[in-house]
Amino acid sequence: MSDSQDWAALIVSGTRHLHDGRHDLALADFNQAIAHAPDAAEAFYGRALTHQHRKALDEAITDFDRALELDPAHIDALFKRSAVHRLKGDFDKAAADFDHAIKSLWQQRERAETAGPGTPAAAAPKTESIETTGIGQAA
């Protein structure tokens, strides 16, 4: 198995553990994924969600920040970071992240409508594998 397959498999495993409520195992998998691929936004995003579930909100924000540094178009990370700011009572930051995420979604939609069907810009925004599990909701 190649190194990229290793870290991708760790993200999948971590996501399953997170979905099943096994936060310690999820955190271990995401930490290993980051060790294998320190530039993988999805690994930081998964670890941020794990921190959020564990109520380690400062750590969650740090990892959402890193995921967004690596992938500024990661709209899910913006929405989730907004939720964590809200949980911390930082409503200005929560609103700023939420507004940025909404604007980014509208820009993607406008690009898709302008590009027309069958062009790469018309593709729907990527749906993160972690999001498809329904995890990561603000507790």
Note down the domain range covering 114.
3-133
Q: What is the pLDDT of residues 98-124, one digit of tens each?
A: 999 999 999 888 888 887 666 555 444
Tokens of 136: 């990561």
Higher pLDDT, 112 or 21: 21
pLDDT tens digits, 22-56? 999 999 999 999 999 999 999 999 999 999 999 99
Helix (H, G, I), strand (E, B) or coil at 90: coil
For 118, the token pair is 């069958």
Domain assignment present for 121: yes
Maximum distance among all Cα pairs of the chain, rounded to whole angstroms: 45
Domains of the chain: total: 1
Contacts of residue 91, defined as CB under 8 A and 6 or more positions apart, other chains included, come to: 85
CATH number, domain containing residue 24: 1.25.40.10
pTM comes to 0.79
78: in domain:
yes
In a domain? residue 138: no
